DNA sequence: TCTTGTGAATAGGTTCACAGCA
DNA sequence: TGCTGTGAACCTATTCACAAGA
């Protein structure tokens, strides 16, 4: 299969969501361009990366195109194939993320929540199993957790991130206000709201 | 001033945070390269965009470099100059975002929270003023709010986003699971956790 | 000798423009 | 006629490689 460039991958992922939200049966690159603000040539080029070859002359069939993107990126499939992830730090934010159903229909499954406060994890009720941070290593290994959402206090961010990486975590979604220093092969995405806003407007 | 490319802007913003977290007095492009994983030439090119011309031969002075980045991007300054933003939707997530102190030290100031549930905004206590969604337009205009964090239920996401834009909001940080269709000149950043994770790993 | 700053080269992405199919 | 798919041109960004300063 053709190698797809990072920007193109991101756009295709967004397209997939748009398609899954669309009521239409067929859709053209011009319509997608209106919906996204991207050039129509860009959209056609992105889609041609999928090597679908089905869109000739009257647009793409929404379901087929969506399906092809999901297949290409392996989004979907049985629960057993889902990427297992956890939330580390169950303050207000961690708790909110735990309860939201954001992972439904995503290729991720939330299989654990961790907090140092043992009282809290005993009192909190959650459909996701909660553990003490003491058990971080054993649970990450036994539950085969690959990704972590980091929502601990800033002071603990680097320390916890180092621990997570040493236990084999492949990627971290970082809600803290700290820029983490980690080995190059660990994926990190900084999603602190202030940081996102700053990046959004930086002229 | 030189025009700085988008990727370079993002990196400089991260550099600024790294510098503000550093205990060192001076730092070189090689050290920054280790810390970030970016090429050293890239880092020097980024910094040279700032037209600082102070780094010759023995690295950069941490405080001066940080300061220059903040000046360049107008991060900092008096409260009156801060960009005013609000949170729309005070469910668990919105509430958590409201209470966290993420905006401290950022160029943003959280000046309002909105929810349709009038009871909730009466009961909730918060250091940030809370309003009913009914007052959305008047408050956005009177408080001169420029950016919004969208944390409403998915069903209301597009509708609320349209309202926000019609009231003059310039950018939206979108926590919902919906890809918003908005006019090109509105900035949108999708930060739904599942979406971030998907983008992170999409090979 | 170590490190910056930057022209020049290279790599990466986007857009143009059009052939070809329905 | 209306749309896709794609070479070729163009634009953007990164990396190389080295002159020059401390």
Give the tens place of pLDDT for each residue, A141-178.
Answer: 999 999 999 999 999 999 999 999 999 999 999 999 99
Chain B residues inside the 8 Å CB shell of A93: 93, 96-97, 100
* Average pLDDT score over residue span B141-166: 98
Q: Work out the pLDDT band at B113, boundaries 50, 70, 90.
A: very high
Sequence-ordered alpha helix ranges (H) in chain B: 6-21, 29-36, 40-48, 62-72, 92-99, 118-123, 136-142, 154-166, 193-201
pLDDT exceeds cutoff 90 at A132: yes
A85-119 CB burial, b ≥16 within 10 A, e <16: bbbbbbbbbbbbbbbbebbeebbbbbbbbbbbeee
Listed range (A51-65, A152-166, B81-95) with the worst mean pLDDT: A51-65
Distance from CA of A109 to the nearest CA of B (A): 9
So what's the pLDDT on residue B203? 67
B100 to A92: CB separation less than 8 angstroms, yes or no: yes
So what's the pLDDT on residue A1? 72
Q: Percent of chain A at pLDDT above 90?
A: 81
Q: Which of A52, A47, A58 is nearest to A25 (CA)?
A: A58
pLDDT exceeds cutoff 80 at B106: yes
Enumerate residues 6+ apart whose C-beta is below 8 A from A175.
Answer: A93, A97, A149, A150, A151, A191, A192
Can you give the pTM of this predicted structure? 0.94
So what's the pLDDT on residue A26? 95
Residues linked to residue A154 through DSSP beta bridges, in sequence order? none
Chain A residues inside the 8 Å CB shell of B178: 17, 21
Of B18, B108, B203, the CB nearest to A194: B108
3-state SS assignment for residue B24: coil
CB atoms within 10 A of CB A126: 14
B198 inside 8 A of chain A by CB: yes
Closest nt to residue B30, judged CA to C1': C3
Residue B2 gets which letter from DSSP? Answer: P
The Cα–Cα gap between B157 and B153 comes to 6
- Mean pLDDT is highest, among A79-83, A87-91, B79-83, B196-200, for A87-91
Chain A residues inside the 8 Å CB shell of B9: 199, 202
- In whole numbers, what is the pLDDT of chain A averaged over residues? 93
Q: Percent of chain B at pLDDT above 90?
A: 82
Identify the residue whose tokens are 């995405």. A189
pLDDT exceeds cutoff 90 at B27: yes
Please tell me which residue, A201 or A62, carries the higher pLDDT value: A62
Identify the residue whose tokens are 């949170």. B87
* Contact status, residue B51 vs residue B2, Cβ threshold 8 Å: yes
A13 inside 8 A of chain B by CB: yes
CA B2 to C1' D9, in angstroms, rounded, equals 26
Check residues 9 to 28 of chain A and report those whose beta carbon is under 7 Å from nucleic acid strand D.
28
Q: Closest chain A residue to B70 measured between Cα atoms?
A: A202
So what's the pLDDT on residue B201? 84
Is the minimum distance from the CB of A52 to strand D below 7 Å?
yes
Q: Work out the pLDDT band at A28, boundaries 50, 70, 90.
A: very high
pLDDT exceeds cutoff 90 at A112: yes
B96 to A99: CB separation less than 8 angstroms, yes or no: no
Is the minimum distance from the CB of B30 to strand C below 7 Å?
yes
Per-position DSSP letters for chain A, written without gaps between them? -----HHHHHHHHHHHHHHHH---SEE-HHHHHHHH---HHHHHHHHHHTT----TTT-EEHHHHHHHHHHHTT----GGGSEEEEEE--SHHHHHHHHS-TTTTSSEEEEEEEES-HHHHHH---SS-EEEGGGHHHHHHHTT--EEEE-S-HHHHHHHHHHHHHTT--EEEE-SSS-----TTSEEEE--HHHHHHHHH--
* Average pLDDT score over residue span B32-44: 97
Interface test with A, best of B183, B184, B193, B196 (most A CBs within 10 A): B193
Identify the residue whose tokens are 């989004």. A75
Q: Which of B51, B42, B8, B43 is nearest to B27 (CA)?
A: B43
Residue B143 gets which letter from DSSP? Answer: T
So what's the pLDDT on residue B57? 80
pLDDT exceeds cutoff 90 at B202: no
B62 inside 8 A of chain A by CB: no
Enumerate residues 6+ apart whose C-beta is below 8 A from A75.
Answer: A13, A16, A69, A106, A107, B198
Using a 7 Å cut-off to protein CB atoms, list the covered nucleotides of chain C: 2-7, 12-17, 20-22
Residues linked to residue A115 through DSSP beta bridges, in sequence order? A132
Give the tens place of pLDDT for each residue, A69-98.
Answer: 999 998 877 777 899 999 999 999 999 999
A21 inside 8 A of chain B by CB: yes
Closest nt to residue A31, judged CA to C1': D3
User: Angle formed by the axes of helices A29-36 and A6-21, to 10°?
Assistant: 100
So what's the pLDDT on residue A70? 93
């Amino acid at each position: 299969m053709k190698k797809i460039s990072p920007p193109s991958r991101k756009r295709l992922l967004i397209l997939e969501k748009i398609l899954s939200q669309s009521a239409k049966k067929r859709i053209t690159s011009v319509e997608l361009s209106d919906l996204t603000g991207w050039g129509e040539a860009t959209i056609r080029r992105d889609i041609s990366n999928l090597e679908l070859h089905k869109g000739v002359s009257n647009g793409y069939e929404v379901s087929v195109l969506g399906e092809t993107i999901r297949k290409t990126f392996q989004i979907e499939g049985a629960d057993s194939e889902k990427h297992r992830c956890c939330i580390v730090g169950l303050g207000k934010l961690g708790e909110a993320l735990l309860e939201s159903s954001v992972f439904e229909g995503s290729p991720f499954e939330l299989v654990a929540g961790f907090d140092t406060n043992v009282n809290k994890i005993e009192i909190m009720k959650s459909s996701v199993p909660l553990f003490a941070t003491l058990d971080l290593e054993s649970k990450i290994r036994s539950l085969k957790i690959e990704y972590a959402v980091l929502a601990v206090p800033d002071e603990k961010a680097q320390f916890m991130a180092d621990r997570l990486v040493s236990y084999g975590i492949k990627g971290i979604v970082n809600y803290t206000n700290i820029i983490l220093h980690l080995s190059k092969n660990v994926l990190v995405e900084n999603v602190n709201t202030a940081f996102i806003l700053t990046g959004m407007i930086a002229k």
